Amino acid sequence: MAESSTKAPDPMDIALGAAVRIRRRTIGISQEALAEQCGVSFQQIQKYENGTNRISFSRLVQIARALKCRVVDLMDVLDGPDRETTSDLDLLSRMRTPGALELLTAYERLGGEARASLLTLLRTVAPEVQAPAPKPREVA
């Protein structure tokens, strides 16, 4: 029997794809526009961003140029010490959740009191959301 090709994407591919997506959305271009600039289909860009397909180095250079950044800017998260890289990869994986980037953008615009209220609401509706360990005096 042949081996199935349903292998899960590598966490590094997922992280690189998430970095591409975050950069693309930050500068406000669509998957279609990025695809056109790179000479691929928008479905291929989706696969890159989801980590389903690996990005070759030559394609990464094209993507970085289209996104007006350096290749290392997209790969930076992959180049830290193991503990930092693991948490960065986890964060980038979470950023793939639909709506996560929009939620973070809206959260950044809130004042300190509104942020605290929102976190209280989230902890009420999703009890598994843990409160962070208390920090010495946060600046809002």
pLDDT per residue over 111-126, tens digit each? Answer: 888 888 888 888 888 7
Distance CA(22)–CA(66), nearest Å, equals: 14
Q: Angle at the Cα of 98 (from 120 to 20), degrees rounded to 5?
A: 120
Q: Angle at the Cα of 135 (from 134 to 140), degrees rounded to 5?
A: 110
Q: Quick one: CA dihedral 63, 23, 130, 106, positive or negative? A: negative
Fold of 11-96: 434 Repressor (Amino-terminal Domain) (1.10.260)
pLDDT in tens, 12-57: 888 889 889 988 988 889 999 999 999 999 999 999 998 899 999 9
Instruction: For residue 17, give every residue at least 6 positions away whose Cβ sits within 8 Å of its Cβ, in sequence order, or none.
Output: 48, 49, 50, 51, 52, 55, 96
Distance CA(123)–CA(8), nearest Å, equals: 31
Predicted TM-score (pTM) of this structure: 0.61
Distance CA(35)–CA(78), nearest Å, equals: 24
What pLDDT is recorded for position 57? 95
122 neighbors 129 (Cβ within 8 angstroms): yes
Q: Where are the domains of the chain?
A: 11-96, 98-127
The CA distances from residue 133 to 52, 104, 137, in Å, are 35, 20, 12
Which pLDDT band holds residue 86 (cuts at 50, 70, 90)? low
